[in-house]
Structure 1
Amino acid sequence: MRATPVQGLPEWDRCAVMGVVNVTPDSFSDGGRWFDTSTAVKHGLDLVAEGADLVDVGGESTRPGATRVDEHEELRRVLPVVRGLTSEGVVVSVDTMRASVAERAVEAGAVLVNDVSGGLADPAMVPAVAAAGVPFVVMHWRGFSEDMNARAVYGDVVAEVVAELGARMDAVVDGGIAPERIVVDPGLGFAKHAEHDLELLAHLSDLRALGRPLLVAASRKRFLGHVLAGDGGAPPPARERDAATAAVSAIAAHQGAWAVRVHEVRATRDAVRVARAVEGAL
């Protein structure tokens, strides 16, 4: 199943691999490792060398319970890294909930805005992205990290996420962003428990029915730790979940995801290529 291309971005012949560069001291996965600008740029270039098609740069942790950084600090973290990577020809996405950061990052060379709130956190975001004319990721979101776990209440998680994403897509289009520039993301781990994440992964076709390219961001998340731990076991640390992440990447690619967002690129690069080869043999 080939994914619909995104207007304004390169078209890949398989599920794309989005590498993650967290310029934060408190990310759940690799907080502090890439906090220095030069180290973050080098890491982004390493991800590309390992097979990343694009690199997502973020300066604010969205792990459960995380508190927000202020605008000035987020800009200080993100902009030099975006400039450093784009100057090397890297396709860069900016991971932010702030319109001001999105605008400045696009000016610095970013070509995609990945907003985990889908434009809900900052009313200025949708107009800013519409004016910039860049693609926009609309993620399923029910609130900020401080209390999002309390919002993980669903009767039918698949139906509710699809409905809420559809409504948000309509709002974003009404706000001036072209439908051809919209990517949707089910928001795995955001106001969701492990069973919700797994059910969404099992029904990606329902999300693809929204008619827009699908980004799946499962990398190293809590539900994978839950699966690997088994009944009563302790979940492995986030950095020991890369094989499980690659498995999800293969599943997502086989179900027609446009891209997968991952911390460790090499295994996922191989996983999506195998998925594409299998599709080609059908």
Structure 2
Amino acid sequence: MAAKINTDKIYVQPLGLVRGPIHCDRVFKNLTGGNIYFAAVRIISRTKQGLEEKIVSIVDLDNFFKKKSTTVAEKIKTILNNIESPRGALMLNNGSVIGWKKPVIQGVLNVTPDSFSDGGQYSDIELARPHAHEMISAGADIIDIGGETTKPGAQSVSIKSEKDRVLPVIKNLATLNFPLSIDSRNAEVMNDAIQNGAHIINDVSALGHDLKSIGVVKKEDVPIILMHAQGAPEIMQNNPQYSHILLDIYDYLESRIKMCIDAGIDKNKIIADPGIGFGKTVDHNLEILNGLSIFHGLGVPLLVGTSRKSFIGKITGEKVAENRVSGSIAAMLLCLEQGVQIVRVHDVEQATQAISVWNAAQKV
């Protein structure tokens, strides 16, 4: 007998994802206006007694709704609308427009001495600028510049040190008029980065580390990437635990999105990132990768970064981060198959090649 769907908190996860175009609305629904469609949904209710769930095909949805209260049916329909609605293009303050007709590649440019993968390799402008040019030539759509490593166990750096690292690079690259994001948790760094040519803020603390940061986002009217992390970098890998990994992250991101909207930030400028590797075990990361489609219910574009991360090393036995390219590409393709709009990568050339093949196969 099917479990009753309660009204405490409802989640909807698209299932049976296939690539289109498909012209059969009775059997499939479209995912976020792109070329991926879904044939069923998992409807999950989280109650004090635990989880209750039911898988419903798109064909059977109308009958399913008839058997539910108006309240329950409307909650599910609202989430379905979030899942189906096309995402608005990102409008940047340099006149650039980032759309979602193809996967967007965010290339990583760490100007730090101690990042987990490439620390010290691009820590001054003479090294950073050529690498940025290489990533742009290879197919990057955004260059993400960070001056504070947030790897597990990392210690925070001073605001001055972070600005000394990122601002010269941002100023230099701003002459390219190419989309730049600043990877920072600190309002002062965010503000100065935007003033010197960055266009997007990428905050691993989802504007929780520095209470002034939401004011910067509102004032500058720039896109904001809200990432989930359990705990600060210093302690986040100390036995991370969740009651339900997907739902806990969903609730957190939903609350941060609401906070931004309530503060007057345009929802079309919000991007959500479930934070692979930030306060998660290997199994947690795999659960996220397998369940990414649930986060489309948030109603905003999704960004996921799996590139070179330690969970790939633990699965494959590869201890050297730079040698995890193949595993990174495999994880990236899992993201694309579930409709993730932005992938954050170190190895832009390899990612671009993989996406080109993935796109070509879709058109056959």
Q: TM-score, normalised by structure 2?
A: 0.73
Distance 1:262 1:49 in 2: 15
Distance 1:246 1:265 in 2: 10
**Does structure 2 retain, via aligned residues, the 8 Å contact 1:254–1:279?**
no
User: Would you say 1:66 and 2:154 are equivalent positions?
Assistant: yes
Distance 1:159 1:122 in 2: 25
Unmatched 5+ stretches in structure 2 = 1-30, 35-85, 92-96
User: Would you say 1:270 and 2:358 are equivalent positions?
Assistant: no
Partner residue in 2 for 1:228:
316
Alignment of 1:141-220 (within 5 A): 141-150=229-238, 152-220=240-308
Distance 2:291 2:235 in 1: 26
Q: Which of 206, 215, 220 in structure 2 is aligned with 1:127?
A: 215
SS of the aligned residue for 2:238 comes to helix
Offset, 1:274: 2.5
Q: Which of 253, 258, 261 in structure 1 is aligned with 2:341?
A: 258
Distance 2:258 2:125 in 1: 37
Q: Which of 37, 49, 53 in structure 1 is aligned with 2:137?
A: 49
Q: Which of 329, 335, 356 in structure 2 is aligned with 1:246?
A: 329
Offset, 1:255: 1.3
**Does structure 1 retain, via aligned residues, the 8 Å contact 2:87–2:268?**
no
Whichever structure has more helix as a proportion of its residues is: 1
Distance 1:237 1:119 in 2: 31
Structure of higher RCO (CA pairs closer than 8 Å, 6+ residues apart): 1
User: Would you say 1:4 and 2:92 are equivalent positions?
Assistant: no
**Does structure 2 retain, via aligned residues, the 8 Å contact 1:126–1:176?**
no
**Does structure 2 retain, via aligned residues, the 8 Å contact 1:135–1:183?**
yes
Offset, 1:277: 2.8
* Identity among equivalent pairs (%): 36
Offset, 1:90: 2.0
User: Would you say 1:92 and 2:180 are equivalent positions?
Assistant: yes
Whichever structure has more strand as a proportion of its residues is: 2
SS of the aligned residue for 2:99 comes to coil
Q: What is the number of residues matched between the two proteins?
A: 276
Distance 2:89 2:277 in 1: 24
SS of the aligned residue for 1:207 comes to helix
Unmatched 5+ stretches in structure 1 = 230-234
Q: Which of 109, 131, 135 in structure 2 is aligned with 1:21?
A: 109
**Does structure 2 retain, via aligned residues, the 8 Å contact 1:253–1:276?**
no
Larger Rg computed on CA atoms: 2
Distance 1:142 1:46 in 2: 34
Distance 1:184 1:12 in 2: 15
Offset, 1:107: 1.1
Offset, 1:151: 5.9
SS of the aligned residue for 1:270 comes to helix
Q: Could you tell which deviates more after superposition, 151-160 or 214-223? A: 151-160
Partner residue in 2 for 1:280:
363
Residues 131-150 of structure 1, C-alpha deviations (whole Å, 9 max, x = no match): 10000001012221111113
Q: Which of 199, 211, 220 in structure 2 is aligned with 1:111?
A: 199
Residues 85-137 of structure 1, C-alpha deviations (whole Å, 9 max, x = no match): 12122210110001111111111111110000000000001111111000000
Q: Could you tell which deviates more after superposition, 139-148 or 267-276? A: 267-276
Residues 11-32 of structure 1, C-alpha deviations (whole Å, 9 max, x = no match): 2521111100000000000110
Amino acid aligned to 1:237: V
Offset, 1:41: 1.5
**Does structure 2 retain, via aligned residues, the 8 Å contact 1:189–1:221?**
yes
**Does structure 2 retain, via aligned residues, the 8 Å contact 1:6–1:183?**
no
**Does structure 1 retain, via aligned residues, the 8 Å contact 2:107–2:348?**
yes
Structure 1 residues 6 and 66: alpha-carbon distance in aligned structure 2, compared to 1, 3 A threshold: farther
SS of the aligned residue for 1:177 comes to coil
Distance 1:95 1:225 in 2: 24
Distance 2:361 2:199 in 1: 31
